[in-house]
Structures are given as structure tokens and as C-alpha cells.
Amino acid sequence: SPSDPDLVERARAAKARLGDKVFVLGHHYQRDEVIQFADVTGDSFKLARDAAARPEAEYIVFCGVHFMAESADILTSDDQKVVLPDLAAGCSMADMATAEQVAECWDVLTEAGIAEQVVPVSYMNSSADIKAFTGKHGGTICTSSNARRALDWAFEQGEKVLFLPDQHLGRNTAVRDMGMSLDDCVVYNPHKPNGGLTAEQLRAAKMILWRGHCSVHGRFSLDSVDDVRARIPGVNVLVHPECKHEVVAAADYVGSTEYIIKTLEAAPAGSKWAIGTELNLVRRLANRFAPEGKEIVFLDRTVCFCSTMNRIDLPHLVWALESLADGNLVNRIEVDKETEAFAKLALERMLALP
Ligand code: CIZ
Ligand code: SF4
């Protein structure tokens, strides 16, 4: 739907009043009405780096979700203030691993006598607390673009990996990209005593997958793939690795958001694509590439937007920008110093990956 012209004007005016003092980041999954005001767009990791490359911006307005604003705060200087226009914009996946649960898991691994062999690898989509846990225990962060390299590195440091919080990215990377078997993986359920696993199972496993998932990508099913192939002959199925293993196994192409965009840019005219990722992005890509004769559809019409991403709407953005222009620092996301130091250690290990 087109955005309210009054709000568009107010956002423009507030941004103009702030000038170089504000830098607006827009995640790929944001609404069109918000994306139009983004100085840069990208995935969570690119955006955190873009923020760090703008030290003159006193305010970083992060149009995305909470863990992304935390990562931007960790990677920017102490004078820069990161603002999340709606504090209720969380991430259901990141919320599936809390500091207490992860500490308890480490105790379980210690009891089973394997903690010393385990290297934690945490997906970018995790809270600052989980990143700090990872840094403290010798592990690294990964994105969906470098998960394979992160796992290769981790298996040079130890015999086992604890992968947090997205079981699907962990399993898909291990099995699809690295040739491990499904039996090499076990799932640790934080809601069950000992994660629902015996010490025996933990000792036998190479990949200990945290039982988390994305509530958007996790909804694509094998049926979605079969249906779209029946509906659109010759369609190429392209999905994000946060999708379930059976969906990834049935797809033609698998990769991160940036990979999806690049693949569609390079696709020939007349090609047909069904995309399994967030709907705001898929719609934008469909509109962008339609004039070039590329047909792009959403993989499953019953899956919807990321509801927390969509919490950032134009009214919230206007409110945040006008507040900042009036000198009121609202909705600041600030990670405490100790957490930041350990989380940064884990992020730096990722940056140093070969
Ligand atoms: O699923 C998400 O939220 C992704 C892929 C985020 C990101 O940009 O890393
Ligand atoms: Fe979290 Fe999934 Fe939404 Fe991304 S799309 S913010 S992983 S719930």
C-alpha cells in the first residue's frame, strides 16, 4: 500500500533537520514505506559494518530487529547511539536461546565430559548475550554467507560444534555443504532436562544443534516446493538456508539474502523463480526484475511477513526521527561493556576467518 503522504513529508523533514548526524539503516526485510528512507540497505552483518563506517553519524537508526541493533552497537564507537524505532521489534529465533538456557547447556556438556571438545558457533541472529557466551568459550559468530567457513574453522579448534540458535542453518551447512550425515547431528532442546539427550548421544555427535528456528523460513515445506514446480513448469527454486533441511534438499539453489539478490541480478530474461525468504524482499525483487522479463514468485502463498520486522513502520520511523531532531534520544539499544567485549571477540574471530 502507498505510504501516507503526510508521514512521508514529516520523515523527510526530520531527516533533513538531522543531516549528517543521522544514518538510517534498512534491513532487506523491511516494508517499502520504511526502506525508502534508508541510507543503505543490506543484511544484518553488512548493515552493522556500514554503521561502523559512518563515525560522524551520532545516531544510527536501525530499521530491523533488536539483535541487529545490538550488533551495530557492538561494532560502532561508544559515542554513536543506536536507535530501534520500535522496541517490540524482536526476533523469535534470537529469543529461542537465552543466556540462562545456554549456560545450563554448557553445564550439561561439562557433565557429559565433552565441554572441552566443543566449540560454539553462533549465527548472527542471536542476542548479544549469546554472542558473548560464544566469545567467552572460544567460538565464533557466522552469517548465512560464511557458515561453512566458520564450521571448518571450528572443527580445526575442536572435535564438536555447538551451533546456536538456528538448527536449520547448522544442519544444512553440515550436511549439504560439508558432507556430514544427519546422524552426526543431534538437537539440544532447552525445554527438556539435559536437552532431551543422553550423555551417550552427546558424546557420539559432531554437531549439537540448538533447537531454534526462524518462524518465517521454517514454514516453507516440501509441499510448497512440489506445488510451485507443478504450477510453474521450469521454475527455479531458490531458498534461504534457514529453511528446513528437506526444503533445502529439494531446492535448486540455496543461499543468503545477498546471494539471492545476486542470483536474480544475473538471471537471464525469461527465467522463472520461486523464492523462499521473507515476503517484503521477495515482492520488491519481483517488482524490480519484472521489467527485465524475469518472473519471480513467492515460494508459498500461505507464509507471511516477518511480523517483528514489520513492526517498524512509517509512524514509528517518523516518531524516532522527529524525537532525535528535537534532541530526545529515544529507544536507544546499548549493550553493557562486559557483554560487548566478549561478543566483539566472537565477531572478530568471524572477521578473521579465511
Ligand atoms: O532471517 C533473517 O532475519 C536474516 C537472514 C537476517 C540477516 O540479515 O542476517
Ligand atoms: Fe528473526 Fe526470522 Fe524475522 Fe529474521 S525473518 S528477524 S530470523 S524471525
Using alpha carbons, list the distances in angstroms from residue 139 to 68, 123, 151, 244. 19, 11, 10, 24
Q: Is 333 helix (H, G, I), strand (E, B) or coil?
A: coil
Write the DSSP assignment of 284-310 as a string of letters: HHHHHHGGGT-EEEES-TT----TTGG
Percent of the chain whose predicted confidence (pLDDT) is above 70: 100
List, in order of start, the domains of the chain with CATH numbers.
Answer: 5-90+311-336 (3.40.50.10800), 94-213 (3.40.50.10800), 217-298 (3.40.50.10800)
Does 256 sit in the ligand 2 pocket, CB within 6 Å?
Answer: no
Find the mean pLDDT for residues 64-88.
Answer: 96
Q: What's the confidence (pLDDT) of residue 3?
A: 84
Find the mean pLDDT for residues 89-106.
Answer: 98
C-alpha cell at 340: 560487548
Q: At what angle do helices 337-351 and 128-136 cross, to 10 degrees?
A: 70
pLDDT category of residue 48 using cuts at 50, 70 and 90: confident
Q: Is 24 helix (H, G, I), strand (E, B) or coil?
A: strand
Write the DSSP assignment of 46-110 as a string of letters: HHHHHHHT-TT-SEEEEES-HHHHHHHHHHS-TT-EEE-S-TT---TTGGGS-HHHHHHHHHHHH
190 or 304: which leads in pLDDT: 190
Span from the CA of 256 to the centroid of ligand 2 (angstroms): 13
Find the mean pLDDT for residues 123-133.
Answer: 98
| Rounded-to-integer distance, Cα 306 and Cα 214, Å | 9
Strand 253-254 and strand 81-83: the pairing is unpaired
Q: Is 213 annotated as a binding residue?
A: no
Does 142 sit in the ligand 1 pocket, CB within 6 Å?
Answer: no
pLDDT at 233 over 60: yes
pLDDT at 143 over 60: yes
pLDDT at 1 over 60: no
Percent of the chain whose predicted confidence (pLDDT) is above 90: 96
Q: Which of 25, 45, 75, 124 to mutate to test the pocket of ligand 1 (most atoms within 8 A of CB)?
A: 124
Nearest-ligand number for the alpha carbon of 126: 2
Q: Is 259 annotated as a binding residue?
A: no
Consecutive H or E run containing 140: strand 140-142
Does 169 sit in the ligand 2 pocket, CB within 6 Å?
Answer: no
Find the mean pLDDT for residues 148-167.
Answer: 98
Residue with CA at minimum distance from ligand 2 atom 3: 306
Question: For residue 182, which of 174, 194, 190 has the smallest C-alpha distance?
Answer: 174
C-alpha cell at 283: 515482492
Where helices occur in the chain by DSSP H, the ranges are 5-18, 32-35, 44-52, 66-75, 99-111, 128-136, 147-157, 167-172, 199-204, 222-231, 245-250, 257-266, 279-289, 314-325, 337-351
pTM of the prediction?
Answer: 0.96
Predicted-complex ipTM score:
0.95
- Cross-strand partners of 40: 25
What is the atom index within ligand 1 of the atom nearest the CA of 46?
Answer: 8
Find the mean pLDDT for residues 288-302.
Answer: 96
Span from the CA of 125 to the centroid of ligand 2 (angstroms): 8
Strand 236-239 and strand 253-254: the pairing is parallel
Strand 59-63 and strand 40-42: the pairing is unpaired
Q: In this structure, are residues 284 and 36 in contact, taking their beta carbons and an 8 Å threshold?
A: no
Q: Is 242 annotated as a binding residue?
A: yes
Q: Is 207 annotated as a binding residue?
A: no
Nearest-ligand number for the alpha carbon of 256: 1
C-alpha cell at 60: 544510527
| Rounded-to-integer distance, Cα 177 and Cα 196, Å | 27
Span from the CA of 68 to the centroid of ligand 1 (angstroms): 9
| Rounded-to-integer distance, Cα 98 and Cα 121, Å | 15
Residues near 262 by beta carbon (within 8 Å), at least 6 away in sequence: none
Does 243 sit in the ligand 2 pocket, CB within 6 Å?
Answer: no
Question: For residue 310, which of 284, 334, 349, 278 has the smallest C-alpha distance?
Answer: 278
